[in-house]
Structure 1
Amino acid sequence: MSQLLFNNMELTRSFFIKNVEAVEEGIADIQPEGFNNTIHWHIGHVLTTAENIMFGFPKKTSHLPANYMELFARGTKPADWQGDVPSVSVLTSQLKEQLKRMKEISVESLNVKLKEPFLGQETFGELVNFALFHENLHLGHIQAMKRVIETAKTK
C-alpha cells in the first residue's frame, strides 16, 4: 500500500507541475469572475498546504519563507497581498524541490498515528493521501480558471 501512495504522490505532483507549466504567462494573475482567487494563488496554496501537512510548516521546516502563510493559507487572497510575492516560476521550482523531499518520507512514518485525528485522518499516511486529494482539487480549479480566461480572451 505504501508504494501505491508514493506512486500517487509522484503522479499527482508531476501532473500538477505539467499543468502549471502549461499556463501562459500573464494569465496566472487574472481572477476570473466567479472565482475567489487566481491561478498564481492556487499554485502557492498547494505548495504551502503540502509543506504544512507533510513537513510541519512553518514551525518544523524552513524550506519556505514564513510569509507564505500570509499569502497562500486558507482564507487569503491576492487582493490582500503585500510585500514580496514569489513568482509562478519560483513556486514551480519549489514544488519540484518539495516533491524530492516528499519522496524521501520513510515508509515507516506513514503508519504513525496522529496525536489527534485531523480532517478525519488518523495516521500520517492518511494525511499524506489527503494532501494529494487536496492538490487534485486545486488542479481542477486551475484547469477551470485557465479555460475561462482563455475563452474570454477569444471573445
Structure 2
Amino acid sequence: MNESKFFRQFRELREQTLSLAESVSPDLIDIVPSGFNNSIRWNLGHILVAWDHGIFPKINESRRIPQKYHFMFPKGSRPSAWTEEPPAYEEIVSRLRSQVDEIITASDGKLNDLVAQPFLRVKYVRGMFTFHLREEEHHLNCMRRIIAAAESAPAVE
C-alpha cells in the first residue's frame, strides 16, 4: 500500500472515531459498564497516546501531547486508578482531530524507513501505521460496545 492510501485510511478511521466521540451523550463518556475496564474518555485518550508514542519517537521526533496523558492512558491503565482529574473530554477530542495532520506531516516520505526504536517485531514506520490503525479500530469497537452496554443497563435509583 502506498503512503497516500495509508494516510487516507488513517483519516477515514479517525473521522469515524471523532464522529462517535462527538455524538455520544455526555452522560456516557465516563461510565464503565459491568464487564468493562475502561470508559469512552479512557479509550479516546488511549488512542491519542498510542499514536503519539507509536509514531513520533519511531521517526526520531518528540511526542506532541503532554506527559500527563502518557501516565493516564497507557495500556493496562484504567480510570478507577486515576489520582487526578483527567483532561477535559473536549480537549482530548480536539487533540485527536489535530493529531492526524501532525502525524501525516511528520511521517510523510518515511513509511519505508526503519523505526528508530524497536517495537514488538515491527521494523518499518509502515508497520507502526498498520499496528495503530488496527489498534484504533479495536478501541472504536470497544467504545461502541461500551455505549450499547451503558444504554441497555437498568437505571440506578
Q: Under a length normalisation based on structure 1, what TM-score does the superposition of the two structures give?
A: 0.90
Aligned with 2:46: secondary structure?
helix
- Once residues 53 and 62 of structure 1 are traced to their aligned partners in structure 2, the CA distance between those partners, rounded to angstroms, is 9
- Once residues 124 and 89 of structure 1 are traced to their aligned partners in structure 2, the CA distance between those partners, rounded to angstroms, is 29
Deviation at 1:113, TM superposition (A): 1.4
Aligned with 1:108: secondary structure?
coil
- Once residues 108 and 68 of structure 2 are traced to their aligned partners in structure 1, the CA distance between those partners, rounded to angstroms, is 31
Please give the residue correspondences for 1:52-131 in structure 2 after superposition, counting only pairs within 5 Å: 52-56=53-57, 60-114=61-115, 118-131=119-132
**What amino acid maps onto 1:118 in structure 2?**
F
- Once residues 62 and 51 of structure 1 are traced to their aligned partners in structure 2, the CA distance between those partners, rounded to angstroms, is 6
Match of 1:36 in 2: 37
- Once residues 153 and 43 of structure 1 are traced to their aligned partners in structure 2, the CA distance between those partners, rounded to angstroms, is 25
Taking structure 1 as reference, are residues 11 and 42 closer, same or farther at Cα in structure 2, changes over 3 Å only?
Answer: same
Residues 21-60 of structure 1: CA deviation (Å, up to 9, x unaligned): 1110021111100001111100100001110011129x94
- Once residues 114 and 94 of structure 1 are traced to their aligned partners in structure 2, the CA distance between those partners, rounded to angstroms, is 24
- Once residues 115 and 96 of structure 1 are traced to their aligned partners in structure 2, the CA distance between those partners, rounded to angstroms, is 26
Residues 48-94 of structure 1: CA deviation (Å, up to 9, x unaligned): 1110011129x943521111121000111101112241021110000
Aligned with 1:67: secondary structure?
helix
- Once residues 84 and 66 of structure 1 are traced to their aligned partners in structure 2, the CA distance between those partners, rounded to angstroms, is 14
- Once residues 144 and 67 of structure 1 are traced to their aligned partners in structure 2, the CA distance between those partners, rounded to angstroms, is 27
Give the share of equivalent positions with the same residue, in percent. Answer: 26
5+ unaligned residues in a row in structure 1: which ranges?
Answer: none
RMSD: 2.1
Match of 1:11 in 2: 12
Give structure 1 regions of 4+ aligned residues with deviation exceeding 6 angstroms.
none
**What amino acid maps onto 1:9 in structure 2?**
F
- Once residues 96 and 108 of structure 2 are traced to their aligned partners in structure 1, the CA distance between those partners, rounded to angstroms, is 21
Q: Under a length normalisation based on structure 2, what TM-score does the superposition of the two structures give?
A: 0.89
Aligned with 1:103: secondary structure?
helix
Aligned with 1:104: secondary structure?
helix
Aligned with 1:133: secondary structure?
helix
- Once residues 93 and 117 of structure 2 are traced to their aligned partners in structure 1, the CA distance between those partners, rounded to angstroms, is 32
